[in-house]
Amino acid sequence: MSKIKITEVALRDGSHAMSHQYTVEQVKTITKALNDASVPYIEVSHGDGLGGSSIQYGLSGTDELKLIEAAVEAADFSKIAVLLIPGIGTIEDLKNAHRIGADMVRVATHVTEADVSKQHLETAKELGMETVGFLMMSHMAPVDKLIEQAKLMESYGADTVYVVDSAGALLPDQVAERIKALRQALTVDIGFHAHNNLSLAMGNTLAAIKQGATRIDGSVRCLGAGAGNTQTEVLAAVLEKMGIETGIDFYKMMDIAENIIAPILPGTQEITKDSLTMGYAGVYSSFRLHAERAAKRYNLDSRDILIELGKQKIVGGQEDMIIDVAAELAKKNKITV
């Protein structure tokens, strides 16, 4: 029986789909229920991580520190994780999250920019936190580059390094190749974070586990950016059938999905034309609502904006480019706004 540790990301990745409007009450209820279902880690932050609340990324309805505090209070089993993207979140944000009880930080960088995680990973270690290096948009780098960047994170003190398929663009063989290479090159744990834009989140997750990933992300009812992540309650059931232990009570997880998450979803978490286009074109899943709004504003098909963003290799942190790209497309197609 191998053991997989799952991090539930609906209260962070799902924040994109919720337009960052989680309330303290929602976070308390969801965290308590996940805790009772024995989910080992629960991530809580703005969708773009600590300090993400802004015009550029979307303003939070509630200060994320209040949400993190509520989660810490509601959990006596689950550990509370936060996400931090250097340049968006600061060392001060990290210290504040630690002070109010966050146990783990996932320091996220673009797949070729691991060097910017040094200070944050080292500080987290000094604070006694569990540390994760989170290599976003992993489909954009060849395997040797990914190894180089993962090794940097390992050298800064990451306890785990994640392959993050932010766009849901990777195919199962590509995931397997990446995880296998990291497993051979690193001594720390390897994790995998999927998005379901090409309906491959579960298949890719199983491919990752087969190659030795032991830390896996899921979102209950698929509540994550784009088409969501690997669906946690389904993953818990599949792994149980495979004889792989997660410790999660999947019966309780199904109840959370059905009775707590489904009623608060702004729409169903399914593979829409936009999320499918993101997986196809390799675009950041968190761009979905930004592209939808830009399409409305410029009378465009949101898929055209997403395809262009993919062509221009626009990455997280460049959300302002979505409007620029839409304005350019409208001008080129002589669309009046």
Ligand X SMILES: CC[C@H](O)CC(=O)C(=O)O
Cite the annotated binding site for substrate by residue number. 12-13, 166, 193, 284
Size of the site for ligand X (CB under 6 A): 12
Contact track, ligand X, 259-298, x by CB under 6 A: --------------------------xx------------
Cβ atoms of 121 and 154 closer than 8 Å = no
Cα–Cα distance between 319 and 297 in angstroms, integer?
Answer: 15
Question: Which of positions 8-27 make contact with Mn ion (CB under 5 A)?
Answer: 13
Contact track, Mn ion, 202-241, x by CB under 5 A: ----------------------------------------
* Least distance from ligand X to the Cβ atom of residue 285, Å: 6
Q: Is 16 a catalytic residue?
A: yes
What are 42's strand-pairing partners?
8, 80
Partner in contact with 151, chosen from ligand X, Mn ion, none, beta carbon below 5 to 8 Å by kind = none
Close Cβ partners of 240 (under 8 Å, ≥ 6 residues apart): 246, 250
Cα–Cα distance between 101 and 25 in angstroms, integer?
Answer: 18
Cα–Cα distance between 242 and 292 in angstroms, integer?
Answer: 39
Instruction: Please choose, from the candidates 205, 143, 148, the residue with its C-alpha nearest in 3D space to the C-alpha of residue 177.
Output: 143
Residue 308 interacts with Mn ion (CB under 5 A)?
A: no
Residue 84 interacts with ligand X (CB under 6 A)?
A: no
Longest dimension (CA), the chain: 61
Residue 136 interacts with ligand X (CB under 6 A)?
A: yes
Query: How many of the other CB atoms lie within 10 Å of CB of 174?
Result: 18
* Least distance from Mn ion to the Cβ atom of residue 333, Å: 31
Question: Which of positions 210-239 make contact with ligand X (CB under 6 A)?
Answer: 225
Question: Which of positions 165-194 make contact with Mn ion (CB under 5 A)?
Answer: none
Q: Which residue has the tokens 């009378």?
A: 299
Close Cβ partners of 291 (under 8 Å, ≥ 6 residues apart): 274, 283, 302, 305, 306, 309, 322, 326
Cα–Cα distance between 284 and 294 in angstroms, integer?
Answer: 15
CA 245, distance to chain mean position in Å, is: 23
Size of the site for Mn ion (CB under 5 A): 1
Q: Pick one of 48, 103, 154, 308: the residue that binds ligand X (CB under 6 A).
A: 48
Partner in contact with 135, chosen from ligand X, Mn ion, none, beta carbon below 5 to 8 Å by kind = none
* Least distance from ligand X to the Cβ atom of residue 74, Å: 22
What residue ranges in 142-282 does DSSP mark as E strands?
A: 160-164, 189-193, 215-218
Partner in contact with 230, chosen from Mn ion, ligand X, none, beta carbon below 5 to 8 Å by kind = none
Residue 113 interacts with ligand X (CB under 6 A)?
A: no
Residue 164 interacts with ligand X (CB under 6 A)?
A: yes
Partner in contact with 123, chosen from ligand X, Mn ion, none, beta carbon below 5 to 8 Å by kind = none
Rounded to 5°, the CA angle 135-248-261 comes to 75
What are 335's strand-pairing partners?
none
Interface positions with ligand X (CB under 6 A): 13, 47-48, 108, 136, 164, 166, 193, 225, 285-286, 316
Which residues are catalytically annotated?
Answer: 16
Interface positions with Mn ion (CB under 5 A): 13
